[in-house]
Amino acid sequence: MLKKNITNSKVKRKSLGSFFVSLLFLLTFLLVLFNKTDYFVVNKVKSFGIDVITPITHFISSPITIVTNIGLRIRDFQNFKNENLKLKEEIIRLKKWQTLAIKNSRENRVFKRLLNSTSHEVDIIKTVSVIDQSPGMYSKLVTINAGLNYNIEKNLAVINEKGLVGKTIFSSNKKSKVLLINDPTSSIPVKTLSDNSYSILSGTSNGKYLISTFTKDNELPKVGDLLVTSGNAKIFPRDILVAKVIKVSEDRYFALPYVDFNNLNYVQVVKSK
């Protein structure tokens, strides 16, 4: 009886062991299957996301991307516009400096020529600017920016680097009027450098030439002779270049002034020493 019980017990343990082994195998199989199934599901989800969700996301985000790009382009355009304005301002500033530099360079050249052309026989009262010009048919005048405040009075000679310009005829406190030598009412005593023959010149109505109104002993100069102030009048210092003879007739001659009256910028008011 005891032996039978022992045998039954062994059979039960053996059956129970087989059951657990089978159960373990089944669980292992289920775990492997679950892992495989989970991997398959994940891949399916990924594929779904790539195939379906991603295009939808792109479609939804496209307007935002477009608006963002437009905003960036507008910002870039505004930056370009601001930089363009800055460049234009810089160009304007550089042009102003260039104009000022050119002006200063011209002024320096004029001043050097004035200094080189000024005779030791004259005293310089003031170097001035021409601020207004009225070369009319009946009067050829310019206005300079100095007057009684610099001791500039009536009947003082005015010259530039090329020669005789005219004489002062009126002075206020800060301005003066200058009658040009090409005015018909002007009267300039001159002499020729070649033979010291004396004469008096006046302007013409068109202002291009000077014409003789008097020649001493009726001695006319030759074409090409240079004319300078004679110093006979107290207004004009002697030996200031005036004109060049270009035409001689029976009783008078024509001369071309050395001064360009259409381009008067700076002049000097002088007097004899």
Chain segment 15-70, per-residue pLDDT in tens: 655 665 666 666 666 555 555 555 555 555 556 555 555 566 666 666 777 777 78
Our count of domains for the chain comes to 2
State the CATH number of the domain containing residue 201. Answer: 2.40.10.340
Give DSSP secondary structure letters for 236-255.
SPTT-EEEEEEEE-SS-EEE
* Same domain assignment for residues 142 and 258: yes
Please determine, for residue 206, whether its predicted confidence score (pLDDT) is greater than 90.
no
The residue count for the chain: 273
Report the pLDDT value the prediction gives residue 173, as an integer from 0 to 100.
94
**Are 165 and 103 members of one domain?**
no
What is the tens place of the pLDDT at every residue in 159-173?
A: 998 899 999 999 999
> What is the pLDDT, as a whole number, of residue 165?
95
- Quick one: 109 and 130 in the same domain? no
Interval 85-125: pLDDT, tens: 888 888 887 777 776 666 556 555 544 545 545 555 678 89
Give the range of the structural domain holding residue 74, as residue numbers without chain letter: 48-117
pLDDT at 68: 76
Written as six digits, the tokens of 103 are: 């002006």
DSSP reduced 3-state for 226: strand
Answer yes or no: do 198 and 124 share one domain. Answer: yes
What is the pLDDT averaged over residues 184-189?
93
Least Cα distance to 146 among 123, 177, 122 occurs for 177
Same domain, 122 and 60: no
Q: Is there a domain that residue 175 lies in?
A: yes
Do 131 and 265 belong to one domain? Answer: yes
263 and 135 in one domain? yes
**pLDDT the model gives residue 2:** 46
**Does one domain contain both 111 and 187?**
no
The reported pTM is 0.59
- Same-domain pairing of 60 and 179: no
